[in-house]
Structure formats: C-alpha cells, structure tokens
Structure 1
C-alpha cells in the first residue's frame, strides 16, 4: 500500500458521513516527493489532494483530512446542502471539527475547546443521510 493510500483510507471512511461523495481518480504528480488523487464532485468539478512522502503517517492523514474537508465543503455548497463537514457532534448546526495531530494520532477536534476528539477513520458513519 502506498503512503497516499494508507493515509487516505481513514479520511475516506469518515467522508462516508458526507451527503456528497467523490469520484476518486488517479493524479500524476509532477513532483517526486508527492502522491495525490483527484476528488471529483457529481458535477465533475475536482480538487487534487496529496501527501508529502516521508511525513509521519499522522501528519499525512491530517493534511489529507484538511484538503478533503475543503473539497467536501465546496461540494456540499454546490449541491445546496449544509456546507459543514464533519459536523461537530457537541455543537450541531454550528461548525465542523478540525483535523489535528494529538499525541501522535490524527484526530478530529472541536475548535471550541478540544472536545470531542475522534480519531480520523473512526467517525461514526451513521449520520449520513
């Protein structure tokens, strides 16, 4: 498994809670230090998300989570949905969680005080609608 695939897997798991799902396509990076993929929304608009080879696994996951979050917010907005992903379970209809590295682990954290903290890749998928 490539560094990109290993880091993207937990982020895509959590993205299943989003009302808009991407088509994932290969991206041929012009940089030897980078691996990436295209995320395309249902309208065909896309964004490249990438990792820097050699970063820590947690840093790669957080970097991808931030870029995937940007993609999701834009795709949700274009679809006429609430542009908040992933939604903070402690503050519904308010704000998204932030991706961060905490104690060497990639987590989603509430920006209003640090709680709740959910490991990226373990966000509950039942909230998708």
Structure 2
C-alpha cells in the first residue's frame, strides 16, 4: 500500500514495526502507560473479544465510556474489525443515553463498569 493510503490499523502496525518500545499512550489519571507494542496487543485482545460476540465489519458499536485509555483501545479495536465506533457522551442522563443509542444503528455497546449516568 502506498504512503498516505493506510487506514488506522495499518498505521498502528507500521508504528509497532518501526518503534515497538516507544511510549504511545499515557494515562495521567493513574500513571499507566503503553508502548506501541503493548497498545497493539491490548487492541488485538479487545478486537478478538468483540469478534467473539459477532461484531465485525460495518457493525455500529456504541461506546458508553468516559475519556480513558480503555476508550481509545475500544475505538482502535472497532477500527481493526471494520466496525464503526459511536461515542455516547458519558454526561448524558439515562433517558438521553437511551434516546441516542435507540436512534443510532448500534446493536452493540461497550460500557465502563464504573460508569454512572446523570439523572
């Protein structure tokens, strides 16, 4: 594939090959960090998990998560599968989340266990 025509998973693969031990992602909230290689492994595991639930190319996945490294991993995992990630604002009230998800083409959702929606 020529330069400039890569998709996001291809660009990540290229970065892993070029500099696997370089830090790619840092979570200031809890001081966790991932190298390109570690991040790619986490994305691969997450994509495999989503695939095991039948999520694939063209599927829409609602992301009901706060801004976090896991949110970024979920986005990359969706891209890797060819699925579309649909972010849902974590500050919405329960009824608003229901409306957003109900009016999307999403049939799948990823949520954070500690996520609490407004009332």
> Normalising by structure 1, what TM-score?
0.26
Higher helix share: 2
> Normalising by structure 2, what TM-score?
0.27
Higher strand share: 1
User: Bigger radius of gyration, 1 or 2?
Assistant: 2
